[in-house]
Chains A and B, each alone.
Chain A
Amino acid sequence: MNAVDFILAGMLAAATPMLLAALGEMVVERSGVLNLGLEGMMALGAALGFITTYTYDSHALGFLVAAVGGAALALVFALIVLGFVANQVAAGLAIGILGTGLSSLFGKSFESLTISGLPKLALPLLSDIPVLGALFVQDVVVWLTLLLALAIWAVMNHSKLGLIIRAVGENPHAARAIGFRVLRVRCAAIAFGGALAGIAGAYASTVYTPLWADGMIAGRGWIALALVVFGTWATGRVVFGAFLFGALSLGELTTQAAGVNIPSQLLACVPYIVTILMLAVISSNRRRMRLNTIASLGQPFEK
């Protein structure tokens, strides 16, 4: 398998954990809340997903438990920032630390056990295309994630619900004045984001690399946060950014396979360096950032 085939075949799966988490966070941020605890919610989802899948031999159940766990942790965050009107940056960090701690606490006795992943499904016809065909042989979660991205795009841009979420994010006081319950909308968005982060973690630990290892999320939650900025809160661009990072994270394996002798630790830095550069490129256009940034992002809402 040459490098192009390898990247085409692997990039969607590599992108999926980041994409799921980023899509959830995008909805949360559109409602005006910044949840920095993504890494922790993903770690918790990864641990719970792995433990459940290992114990009951069911990926579906694993994803379900991971989603519930992620949402539960997100609701703790919601209670702190919505109920107690706390600083969202600090609360997000607290949730991140808590989630990471809980994941290693729960996962301790499952360290280094392995399970089997999910089979790949080939899309008929498309997978027969030369070279590009490899792109269309993926597991079911990848396909569902892409459908979910489409659904989120449709809901955010072409439905009343999307309009409500955006109104709450852009101008919570006006939204309240016309009768929407700001805190309830935000709470639901946070829970949704948490559930997706949990599923994202479970995908990483039960499908992408089907094993549990402490610290296995390895910054992917933070990259997902950066992806939301990179995508300037638009679904399509978030998806594009996730694919780009999926391909990048495979670069390490590809260069090794190609026999290029660069220490793996330094190659592992590439996605992080690219994240910084990409943030700089996107954010340096201050006018565009101002136009796209959610107006009430990170600000507590008080009646």
Chain B
Amino acid sequence: MSISFTRRAKASRVAMLLAPVVAFCCAIVASVILFTALGKSPGQALYSLLLEPFLSWYNFSEVLLKMAPLLLIAQGLAIGFRANVFNIGAEGQLIIGAIAASALPVWYPMGDSAWMLPAMLVMGAGAGMAWAGIAALFRTRFNANEILVTLMLSLIAAQVLNYLLLGPWKDPNGFNFPQSVMFPDAALLPILLPGTRVNVSLLLALIASVLAYVLMRHRFSGFQLLVGGLAPRAARYAGFSETRAIWMSLLLGGLAAGLAGASEVAGPLGQLQRSVSTGYGYSAIIVAYLGGLNPLGIVISAFVMSVIYIGGDNAMVSADLPVAAVWVFQGLLLCFYLAGLTFIRHKVTWIRRKVAP
């Protein structure tokens, strides 16, 4: 007996909705097995990872706080992924955005202008765009693979951040910690939910989600992007340009990531730190895929991923799980999801072989 996949005539909607849920359950089971093998208590790990984020208002608000950058970046990346432009350097675009946004409060630590914050957000978004734009330039002008270029740019961004925090931008009164001065109030995002750390960046991310939905659904350009990426030659016949799809995908992705970086330093961090991104740029890739590259789905997957982030933080304390456990879980989740995607377009058939001739 053997298994065989046959193509469905139409994509299965049930499978489309079921795939992320089943993948999530499989990833949970696989990680529990792994953590048990490593001698951790699986019950405690599961409790911390999945339940604790919902058990107190504070924990839940932290989930919403984490959700803002993930959602924002994932929406930006999904535009490119739908057009087959693989920007995997959101991490670097976020870092550069955070650096650019920090320039103002670092140079004017006593600043109290009402323009400071908007200027920071614009600078962050612009810098993220410019950083991704380098990849777009290299791809369109020199045909250089954007996957490798965006990733290399991320590694460079991380070094630039290190350089600034160990050198010129280090807080002189910071006990030699690699971090900048604390930002003035004028450089901080207003709090959205009183009593928590949730700021207006969540609102920005939700607005971005609506815009992404509009771009995909109602605007001609969404279609153009899709065709430009999926079938460059067909797109050229139809008068769309592949070059435009590449530029648009990378610039929008960079803009979102840069804005997320600016919101991090102007939000929960309040200063530029080495840990300005705890892998948001990479997690957002998973968020984008898990949401089916669909703006609505991404809102849900960003929420789920934030729960895992906060749960992972809790599990570090209560179940003695290392930070890396969250990465293992995320990797497993994407693996299972990609495998599960097959069932959307394929039907499983069991072939019974009687006697081989």
B138/A280 in contact, CB under 8 A = yes
Shortest CB–CB separation between residue A267 and chain B, in angstroms? Answer: 9
A85, A269, A279: the one contacting B149 at CB < 8 Å is: A279
Q: Which of A90, A108, A268, A284 contacts B324 (CB 8 A)?
A: A108
Chain A CB within 8 A of B162 CB = yes
Nearest B-chain residue to A99, judged by Cβ: B331
Quick one: which of B159, B322, B327, B334 contacts A90, CB cutoff 8 A? B334
Taking the closest CB of chain A, its distance from the CB of B305, in whole angstroms, is: 12
Cβ contacts under 8 Å, B7 to chain A: 302
The answer to whether the Cβ of B147 comes within 8 Å of any Cβ in the partner chain is yes
Interface assignment of B148: CB less than 8 Å from any CB of chain A: yes
The yes or no answer to A51 lying at the interface (CB within 8 A) is no
A86 beta carbon closer than 8 Å to chain B: yes
Q: Interface SS of chain A: helix, strand, loop or mixed?
A: helix
Give 1 or 0 for each of B138-181: 1 = CB within 8 Å of chain A CB: 10011111011101110110011011001100000000000000
Task: State whether the Cβ of B280 lies closer than 8 Å to any Cβ in chain A.
Answer: no
Bound-state CA distance A294–B266 (Å) is 47
Contact with B along A82-94 (1 / 0, CB 8 A): 0111110111011
A36→B138 contact, CB < 8 A:
no
How large, as a class, is the contact surface on chain A? Answer: 35 or more
The answer to whether A219 and B145 have CB atoms under 8 Å apart is no
In the complex, the answer to whether B152 meets A275 with C-beta atoms within 8 Å is yes
Cα-based distance from A218 to B7 in the complex (angstroms): 41
Establish whether residues B334 and A94, one from each chain, have CB atoms under 8 Å apart when the complex forms: yes
Cα separation A263 to B167 with both chains bound (whole Å): 9
CA distance A101 to B308 in the complex (A): 15
Cβ 8 A contact of A91, one of B144, B145, B151, B335: B335
A97 and B290 CA atoms in complex are apart in Å by 15
- Cβ contact within 8 Å between A91 and B163: no
Indicate if the CB atoms of B147 and A36 lie closer than 8 Å: yes
Q: Are A86 and B339 in contact (CB under 8 A)?
A: yes
A141 to chain B, nearest CB (A): 25
Residue of B nearest to A104 (CB): B324
User: Given that A86-B342, A105-B328 are contacting pairs, would A279 and B38 also be in contact in the complex, using a CB cutoff of 8 Å?
Assistant: no
Knowing A84-B338, A97-B331, A272-B155, say if A105 contacts B324 (CB, 8 Å): yes
Also in contact, A80 and B138, with CB within 8 A (given A86-B342, A90-B289)? no
| A89 with B330: CB separation less than 8 A | no
Q: How far, in whole Å, are A142 and B143 apart by their CA atoms in the complex?
A: 34
Q: Is the CB of B335 within 8 A of A279?
A: no
Q: Of A86, A225, A269, A280, which is within 8 A of B142 by CB? A: A280
Q: List 23 A-B contacts (CB under 8 A).
A: A83-B339, A84-B342, A86-B339, A87-B341, A89-B86, A91-B338, A93-B285, A94-B331, A101-B325, A102-B328, A104-B324, A105-B38, A105-B322, A222-B148, A263-B167, A265-B162, A272-B159, A276-B144, A276-B152, A279-B145, A279-B148, A280-B141, A284-B144
Seen from chain B, the residues whose Cβ lies within 8 Å of a Cβ on chain A are: 5, 7, 38, 86, 88, 138, 141-145, 147-149, 151-153, 155-156, 159-160, 162-163, 166-167, 282, 285-286, 289, 322-332, 334-335, 338-339, 341-342, 346
Interface residues of A (CB under 8 A from B): 36, 40, 76, 79-80, 83-87, 89-91, 93-105, 108, 214, 218-219, 222, 225-226, 229, 263, 265-266, 268-269, 272-273, 275-276, 279-281, 283-284, 286, 289, 302
